[in-house]
């Protein structure tokens, strides 16, 4: 498997209804490009993986037991492993790039996302 990719080479998978992720995993981390449709809610959940990310496009409200914050493009977050959290995309949806450590092996078996579910990046040569 090569080490250098364009994002369209990564197969989109469906993490939740209205949420597609493109994954790239190494030995110690997983990077995900997550796309959430308008007003889509990722329900409260927790995982052992530390999660660090940034909103690239749109906005999303992140909620933990101790904080709630709407982040826009450029907003960043850090969620320690084991912390319950939920995310709701804004009215225009959200594109988020996030990293997980250790890798998200539990996402290996996710089904492929429906075709046409990707919005980012937008460029003339995008398929």
| Residue 86 in domain | yes
Cis amide bond preceding 102, omega within 30? yes
First to last CA, the chain: 22
pTM (predicted TM-score): 0.92
* pLDDT at residue number 32: 97
Per the prediction, the chain carries an average pLDDT of 93
**What does the alpha-carbon distance between residue 4 and residue 77 come to, in Å, rounded to a whole number?**
26
| Residue 78 in domain | yes
| Residue 14 in domain | no
- The number of domains in the chain is 1
What are 71-125's pLDDT values in tens digits? Answer: 999 999 999 999 999 999 999 999 999 999 999 999 999 999 988 778 888 765 5
| Residue 9 in domain | no
Segments forming the whole domain that contains residue 38 = 29-105
* pLDDT at residue number 1: 58
**What does the alpha-carbon distance between residue 24 and residue 30 come to, in Å, rounded to a whole number?**
6
| Residue 67 in domain | yes
| Residue 58 in domain | yes
pLDDT tops 70 at residue 19: yes
């Amino acid at each position: 498997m090569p080490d250098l990719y364009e994002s369209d080479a990564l197969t989109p998978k469906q993490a939740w209804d209205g949420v597609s992720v493109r994954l790239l995993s190494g030995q110690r981390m997983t990077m995900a490009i997550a796309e959430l449709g308008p007003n889509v809610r990722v329900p409260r959940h927790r995982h052992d993986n530390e999660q660090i990310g940034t909103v690239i496009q749109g906005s999303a409200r992140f909620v933990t037991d101790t904080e709630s914050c709407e982040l826009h493009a450029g907003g960043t977050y850090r969620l320690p492993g084991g912390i319950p959290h939920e995310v709701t995309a804004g009215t225009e949806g959200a594109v988020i790039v996030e990293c997980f450590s250790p890798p998200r092996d539990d996402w290996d078996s996710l089904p492929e996302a429906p075709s046409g579910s990707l919005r980012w990046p937008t460029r003339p040569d995008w398929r």
